[in-house]
Amino acid sequence: MTHVKNICCIGAGYVGGPTCAVIAYKCPDIKVTIVDVNAIRIAAWNSGRLPIYEPGLDEIVFARRNKNLFFSTEVEKAVNEADLIFVSVNTPTKKTGVGAGYAADLAYVESATRGIADVAKSSKIVVEKSTVPCRTAESMRTILEANSSDDIRFDILSNPEFLAEGTAINDLLYPDRVLIGALQTPEGLNAQKALVEVYAHWVPTERIITTNLWSSELSKLAANALLAQRISSVNALSAICEATGADIDEVAYACGRDARIGPKFLKASVGFGGSCFQKDILNLVYLSEQLNLPEVAAYWKQVVDLNEYQKKRFVSRIIKTLFNTITNKRIALLGFAFKKDTGDTRESAAITLCKNFIQENAKVRIYDPKVSSEQIYMDLSEPGIVDNTEEVKKHITITSSAYEAADNTDAIVIATEWDEFKTLDYEKIYDRMNKPAFIFDGRLILDASKLQNIGFRVHTIGRAA
């Protein structure tokens, strides 16, 4: 059986970085090198300020860096030295061409695979870590085999990642499960065993699930679709709550107490964000269409449509409440990240809110504890959002505290559930706002009755005003 001694991870992003740092931390006998074509990102991984914010990540990286954990741009060298290679590159939704707007862009996976085929001088286990459509491993195998010689073999495994941002380190240290799919051949099963042995350094073996390759690939898309579906379900119910006087937190709690339903992922919100839920569901929709399963495609598509509806609904409620116009009104937007405890803004609901506020000519003052001004300007200047940095700058001010953001505004909008927003001095904030002072809680984190006692007019997702 192969015993893995040297791991290379292609892609030093939100997944490759934390995942392989934890492997290095838990497996001091294995050398781990994380490589990326992005030299700035690699320099940051080698510096005192890591390129991503994730609680607990610094400690793990600083404990192992330059011992058995290395970050490098020398892709070729690291690939050659490794006996197991994770492919952890981005798989965004295609923007143009066949499948645009739905299919995953597999160009980065293919280029990493070709890179391995071009330089490998010994046999490798190649592991799909990126989230990919079902049967991608087949294309990878075809490319690798077409380029292999008699004395070099490539075995492909699927080992999708289930970490969530903000809790990545905890998720990696104590995973609910690790999933490893392999071809059901003696060589495939041998490779699977080698990767099981790596995880078994810290993951109890009953939590390591082994399956065939295609089940593993599909399980990743399925898990994200099921999680997002719960959020869209609860968000659909939140609209009924607002119209009836039922309270979505009470409904979610009552439903979640049923052991068959369970309490997690039932928090209503302004809409889910993040780099993966939407992309992976659209990917599943595309796959279903390709398989000539239009009813299945329509079923999953509705999860994304409902999410768009939820954001639109929240914006409409804000405009309607602010006397049907927000032109030249000042709005404090608290939170820009797609969830708390991360600086990641990909597909954040806050971006859609800002886009709509700018279209309505409002003046928006944004505060987020972890997102930089540059990132906010960049996100809002994207084509399809505002597409014009000057226009963005005319409407947006970035502040360094929630208090500064709220100064002289007409309304506060909570877009991200950062803990610090729960304990702000709202009396002080109220005094410095225009009256009537409104709060729109898109995350159900504030005590509405306390705020009403101060004088605020409070509107919460999933509750009647």
**C-beta of 162: minimal distance to ligand UGA in Å?**
4
**Residue 339, contacted partner among ligand UGA, ligand NAD, none, CB below 5-8 A by kind:** ligand UGA
Number of chain positions touching ligand NAD (CB under 6 A): 28
**C-beta of 246: minimal distance to ligand UGA in Å?**
18
CA atoms of 125 and 188, how far apart (whole Å) = 9
CA atoms of 371 and 350, how far apart (whole Å) = 12
Stretch that binds ligand UGA, among 56-64, 107-115, 275-283, 450-458 (CB under 6 A): 275-283
- Give the count of beta carbons closer than 10 Å to the beta carbon of residue 95: 10
Q: Is residue 9 among the annotated active site residues?
A: no
Closer CB to ligand NAD, residue 89 or residue 248?
89
**Residue 13, contacted partner among ligand NAD, ligand UGA, none, CB below 5-8 A by kind:** ligand NAD
Q: What distances in angstroms separate CA 138 from CA 58, 155, 286, one per listed residue? A: 36, 11, 18
Asked if residue 18 binds ligand NAD (CB under 6 A), the reply is no
Strands (E), 119-256: 124-128, 154-158, 178-182, 208-212
Answer yes or no: are the C-beta atoms of 84 and 56 closer than 8 Å. Answer: no
Asked if residue 139 binds ligand NAD (CB under 6 A), the reply is no
Stretch that binds ligand UGA, among 30-38, 97-105, 200-208, 265-273 (CB under 6 A): 265-273
Asked if residue 309 binds ligand UGA (CB under 6 A), the reply is no
Question: Binding residue per annotation — 189?
Answer: no
Buried b (16+ CB within 10 A) or exposed e, 99-109: beebbbbbebb
Give the 3-state secondary structure of residue 310. Answer: helix
Burial of 252 (0-12, 13-18, 19+ CB in 10 A): buried
**C-beta of 203: minimal distance to ligand UGA in Å?**
16
Question: Binding residue per annotation — 354?
Answer: no
Answer yes or no: are the C-beta atoms of 115 and 75 closer than 8 Å. Answer: yes
**C-beta of 77: minimal distance to ligand UGA in Å?**
29
Residue at 413: amino acid letter: V
Q: Which residues pair with 178 in a beta bridge?
A: 208
Task: Please give the distance of CA 347 from its chain centroid, rounded to a whole number.
Answer: 8
Stretch that binds ligand NAD, among 89-97, 367-375, 389-397, 439-447 (CB under 6 A): 89-97
Q: What distances in angstroms separate CA 285 from CA 87, 103, 276, 434, one per listed residue? A: 24, 8, 14, 46
Question: Binding residue per annotation — 440?
Answer: no
Q: Which residue in 75, 140, 172, 402 binds ligand NAD (CB under 6 A)?
A: 75
From the list 20, 134, 241, 276, the catalytic residue is 276
Stretch that binds ligand UGA, among 162-170, 253-261, 292-300, 428-436 (CB under 6 A): 162-170
Of 159, 116, 166, 223, the residue nearest 23 (C-alpha): 159
Q: Which residue in 338, 367, 426, 438 binds ligand UGA (CB under 6 A)?
A: 338
**C-beta of 229: minimal distance to ligand UGA in Å?**
11
Phi, psi dihedrals of residue 390, rounded to the nearest 5°: -60, -45
Q: What is the DSSP string of 378-445?
A: HHHHSTTTT--HHHHHHHEEE-SSHHHHHTT-SEEEE-S--GGGGSS-HHHHHHTS-SS-EEEESSS-
Strands (E), 335-375: 363-367
Stretch that binds ligand NAD, among 32-40, 205-213, 246-254, 329-337 (CB under 6 A): 32-40
Answer yes or no: are the C-beta atoms of 367 and 385 closer than 8 Å. Answer: no
Question: By CB under 6 A, what part of segment 170-229 binds ligand UGA?
Answer: 224, 227
Question: Binding residue per annotation — 162?
Answer: yes
Q: Which residue in 2, 37, 299, 373 binds ligand NAD (CB under 6 A)?
A: 37
Q: Which residue in 273, 369, 442, 462 binds ligand UGA (CB under 6 A)?
A: 273
Binding site for ligand NAD (CB under 6 A): 10-16, 35-38, 41, 75, 88-91, 108, 111-112, 115, 130-131, 161, 163, 165, 275-276
Q: Which residues are catalytic?
A: 276
Note the residues at the interface with ligand UGA (CB under 6 A): 131, 161-165, 224, 227, 231, 265-267, 269, 272-277, 338-339
Q: Which residues are annotated as a binding site for substrate?
A: 161-165, 220-224, 260, 267-273, 338-339, 443
